[in-house]
Structure 1
Amino acid sequence: MDEKTILLFDNYLQGVLSLQEQRDLEARIAKEPELADAFTIFKEVNGHLSHTFSQERSDFKNTIERSANAYFEDANSPRGTISGNSPSKVIALKPWRYLVAASVVLFFGVMLWMNFQSASYADYAFDGTISLTERSGGELAFAKAEKAFNSQSYEEAILFFDTILSNDPENAEVAYYKGIALVELGKHAEAESLFEQLAQGGSVYKYKALWYNGLSHLKRKDIEGAKTILNKIPSDAEDYEKAQELLDKL
């Protein structure tokens, strides 16, 4: 069974085919016994594998092994059968049908592997809440900046960050979170310029700025730029391990 047929079956089960395409496939299944067999096998294997897309990457190998074993454990037995979820349900298979099932397992396995290997900004983006270190004279601005940022009202948060920075331009903490807000809004040039300034300084946000500068490049699909920046993070930095993990995926 080729990839085109597998995708056709998958689109049918996902309900994305047009009504005419559904009818055409159903007509073919009714007339072509081998296609009908392949569709039955696809539904069985798909039932085992579809839930695994939400599994952690560490479960990938075991998932594929379990799915394969569920369908091929009897491949060398005289019965030549494949067991489904129900103990009483046994589907007799001809040898070629094992190849059909194997192609489906392989297809979903490749899709899973690509899914786990891919890296996206959303996987590493800051998703916590902030609690700024307040300094005298601007308590209200700090409180409003925190509230706006934590509610993902990034444009509003930037206004309050700017108010704070106008009175305290060396506040690296506020500058760092302003940079994150800018990235979230897609204002990458401004964010990256800010992160570069922080990375050249001596604050505790020096290497965190490198980390998020790399993420900004990743978000706008500048993979080589992201790799160059992430490779600058030293091994004793807080975000070093995450940076190495991300580099392995890029």
Structure 2
Amino acid sequence: MSKKTKEELLLGYFQATLSKSEFQEFNALLEGDTAFREEYLFRKELQQALQKKELNEAAEYLHSLRSDNPLPKKKNPFGVWLIAASTIVLLGLAWWIYDGTTSSETDLQQLYVQYYEPYENVVHPIERASQMQDLTDQAFAAYEKEDYATAVRLFENLKEQNQDPYLAFYQGIGLMALDQHLEAQEMLQTYIREGGELKNRALWYLGLSYLKTDNPEAAKKALKPLADTADYKSEEARRILNLLD
């Protein structure tokens, strides 16, 4: 059987059709070929964007079905109260949106909750059938299972064996998930200083961490470079900066 091209390996990964040997070759390229990794990251984020778009379109479609085919009216002794309660909730939500976008005292904690979600493992995909003998596999498997305490400990152990800069990035995000933000900020700053390939993503998470620790000036400093680009989370960064100004 002929060896697969890089394009075929990428397609096979996203279609979940790679054999064990092909998966190993894919991982080797991901760690050793910068252009291959950048193409993988681009397709991974494109896939996520398309999935979100499909979910939004599905929700809109369901909404249109309900609008076009309303349920037959039935007498309901609680109907008036439900309508009144819904109205209050909607008014409260409208005020929250208005107040959140105009108040000079933006709730930093709420902004953090609104935007924070752990970054996916895009540098060391885990083969589910693997025996997890490799420490890197174990660390990222724990990360994907949201066992962040174990992941952070294993990332620290890994840093004693090699100097891969992305370890500090994922360790920082794991620390954020554990609500250890001062340590997380230190890790992310280290990664940014070393010019890691995921630098813009590190800036995004660093900015969010500063929001969580009530440091809006530091958050603005971290997010400003993102807002000035058309790169990762640039639109979200601009929204947050507008709220903080």
Q: TM-score range by the shorter chain?
A: 0.5 to 0.7
1:207-234 Cα deviation digits (max 9, x unpaired): 2211111111011221222112211334
Amino acid at match of 2:177: E
Count, aligned residues: 153
Query: Which moved further from structure 2: 231-240 or 175-184?
Result: 231-240
Q: Which residue of 2 aligns with 1:203?
A: 196
Per the alignment, residue 177 of structure 1 pairs with 170
How far did 1:46 drift?
Answer: 2.9
Q: Does 1:237 align with 2:222?
A: no
Q: Which residue of 2 aligns with 1:126?
A: 117
CA distance in 2, matches of 1:110, 1:153: 37
Q: Which residue in 2 is equivalent to 1:56? A: none
- Deviation, structure 1 residue 193: 1.5
- What CA distance in whole angstroms lies between the structure 1 residues aligned with 2:133 and 2:97? 49
Measure, in 2, the Cα distance between the counterparts of 1:125 and 1:150: 16
Counterpart CA distance in 2 for 1:151 and 1:182 is 15
Higher relative contact order (CA 8 A, sep 6+): 2
Assess, with a 3 A threshold, how the Cα gap between structure 1 residues 112 and 49 changes in structure 2: closer, same or farther.
Answer: farther
The CA deviation at 1:47 is 3.0
- In the superposition, relative to structure 1, how do residues 181 and 43 fare at CA in structure 2: closer, same or farther (>3 Å)? same
Give the structure 1 partner of residue 154 of structure 2: 160
TM-score w.r.t. the length of structure 2 is 0.53
Q: Look up the equivalent residue of 1:247 and give its one-letter code.
A: L
Rate the CA distance shift 1:47–1:241 in 2: closer, same or farther, 3 A.
Answer: closer
CA distance in structure 1 between the partners assigned to 2:168 and 2:81 by the alignment: 53
- Equivalent of 1:186 in 172, 179, 182: 179
Cα displacement (A) at 1:128: 5.3
For 2:115 and 2:96, the matched residues in 1 are separated by: 21
Aligned to 2:85: 46
Which of 1 and 2 has greater Rg?
A: 1
One-letter identity of the residue aligned with 2:149: E
* Distance 1:113-1:183 versus aligned 2 partners, 3 A rule: same
- CA change 1:187–1:109 in 2 (3 A) is closer
Per-residue deviation at 1:177? Answer: 0.8
1:89 corresponds in structure 2 to none
Of all paired residues, the percent bearing the same amino acid is 23
Q: Distance in 2 between matches of 1:212 and 1:223?
A: 14
d(CA) in 2 for partners of 1:189 and 1:249?
Answer: 23
State the distance in 1 between where 2:151 and 2:215 align.
Answer: 26
**Residue-by-residue CA offset, 1:158-184 (whole Å, 9 max, x unaligned):** 111112211112x12221110001112
